[in-house]
Amino acid sequence: MKYLRWMGIFLLLAAPSLAAADELFELKQVADGVYAAIAKDQYKVNCNGAVVLLDDGVLVVDTHSKPSAARALIAQIKAVTDKPVRYVVDSHFHWDHYYGNQVYVGAWPAGVEIISSEATRESIEQRGIPRVRHEILALPKEIEQLRADLTKATGAKQKAEIQEKLRQAEAYQAELKAMQVTLPTLTFDRSLILHQKSRTVELLWLGKAHTDGDVVVYLPKEKVIVTGDLLHRWVPYMGDSYPYDWVRVLEQAEKLDFELAIGGHGDVIRGKGQFQMWEQYLRDLMSETAAAYAQGATLAEARKTVATKLAAKYASQFPATFPQEVIGNIEKAYRVVSGATE
């Protein structure tokens, strides 16, 4: 660990979920003292979180897309324990996984370590912060479009949906302007292990995948893995990804002894079938796109032919948004095989 620096399936089925109608997360107990915080549907999406009770405190994985979401989860954490949050893990540098960092530091000023891979800290500095600034500039146009959509809405249901999106967008804009980007304070390059009497928590960087710094949180005794966006139940986002490496990282993660996975989005995952499906999907995505490119297909042509082939095999295994979202995956794959990006 160089570059270290300061800066049960049964329980899932049997335990009640801890969530009220107005809360942003459904807190599901997946093992003794381990909870999956499953994000409810929002216009400005939040990621899932994980809450792990330790001997002298709490470890939280990921802090969501805005400070208010972090405060909402903290309130739910306080409903199950009076222990302070001592550790926060940023699984990677995407906005919906770290924008709430500042809230944990403010809530427990006596000391909260924000932990990430070294690559994730660098990516927040080099790419994350510019993206925040860009988003602040872009949001007014998005809000104006929602207002225009509202004037064109016909039915009461449609109007109510747009009004709620507009409310969330305006509230998000206000939060973004006031937000203080809070960087990880403790980083590692390969692994970091927390040894406690009650449990061991392994933080692992297995290679470049969804981003260059994805961290997997592994609880060997409880047989639970927390994957961030390395794996989840939605269609993978590949904008900052390394597709060929991603397959190898999934294969390495799959070798760990676990029964439940808490992904970055969607419900808790039981078993390893989702890992295997994603591995094959990424292989097929890259091989089909490479074949289309080798045959002289333009990007526009590849979008059509590869999407048709992938939809036939995978549409039923992903959410209904797959036909739209697979296009972004194909565009990324085409850039990689053509040499335009890694």
pLDDT tens-digit series, residues 284-335:
999 999 999 999 999 999 999 999 999 999 999 999 999 999 999 999 999 9
Instruction: Render pLDDT for 54-109 as a digit per residue (tens, 0 to 9).
Output: 999 999 999 999 999 999 999 999 999 999 999 999 999 999 999 999 999 999 98
Same domain, 194 and 300: no
Read off φ and ψ for residue 46, nearest 5 degrees: -105, 150
| Residues 21-66 pLDDT 10s | 358 999 999 999 999 999 999 888 999 999 999 999 999 999 999 9
pLDDT per position as a tens digit, 261-281? 999 999 999 999 999 999 999
293 and 171 together in one domain? no
Nearest to 98 by CA among 184, 32, 162: 184
Task: Please tell me the total count of domains within the chain.
Answer: 3
Between CA 44 and CA 172 the distance in angstroms is: 8
Long-range contact set of residues 11-18: C-beta below 8 Å, sequence gap at least 24? 12/260, 12/268, 12/270, 18/76, 18/79, 18/80
Which 3 state secondary structure label does DSSP give 245? helix
For 235, which DSSP code? P
Please check the confidence at residue 341 and state whether its pLDDT lies above 90.
no
Query: Of 217, 241, 271, which marks where a domain is finished?
Result: 271
Rounded to two decimals, the pTM is: 0.91
Q: Are residues 20 and 144 in the same domain?
A: no
The residue out of 271, 288, 311 marking a domain boundary is 271
Q: Are 210 and 305 in a shared domain?
A: no
What's residue 22's pLDDT? 52
Residue 342 counted as domain residue = no
Domain encompassing residue 318: 279-337
